[in-house]
Amino acid sequence: MSIIASYSHFVYQKLHHRDEHYISSFVSAKDSPFWRKSCFGNILIENRNREERKIRRRNFRVESMWPDLSRPSTVEMEVLNDSEQLDQILVHAQQNSEPVIIDWMAAWCRKCIYLKPKLEKLAAEFDTKTKFYYVDVNKVPQSLVKRGNISKMPTIQLWKDGEMKAEVIGGHKAWLVIEEVREMIQKYI
């Protein structure tokens, strides 16, 4: 699949040219059995339109199978290690007027581990609009955890203009948490 995906434009081009050739040869064959007059117009034109629709549908299916390689499918979240780094990130985000998402997690938390790759996919959706970070609460100073006012994990917070604006505490299904985080981001972008 990776070999075909890297040359997908060639495959599409081959199919497209082959189908165009087929249509032109089909249309130019006036002596074919499809070229008959009827009270509803030329049968050839009806058949040609039907063939073109089939080809368009097939091309659409081929194009929809190839991923959009211009955008990443996941974006790896960066690690936050201390309060100074958080301050720098918040100042930079405030200058660019963009929100920051922080995932407060622990290495022993199963829901946190399960949620992280889904958040990385969400980060790819909002790649240019917001930055995603994560904090392992067992590896950072407790002053950072207190600053985030974390009581449960996983907690996903949105920070904008140097302060925390919204949060989602992820104790329920992962797809619901991701939808809540998506709505939270869209509200503050």
Within 10 A of 32 (CB to CB), how many other CB atoms are there? 13
Distances (CA, A) of 91 to 58, 106, 186: 50, 26, 21
Peptide bond before residue 154 is cis, with ω within 30 degrees of 0 = yes
Which residues are catalytically annotated?
109, 112
Report the relative pairing of strands 41-42 and 37-38 from DSSP bridges: antiparallel
**Residue 30 burial (C-beta neighbours within 10 Å; 0-12, 13-18, 19+):** exposed
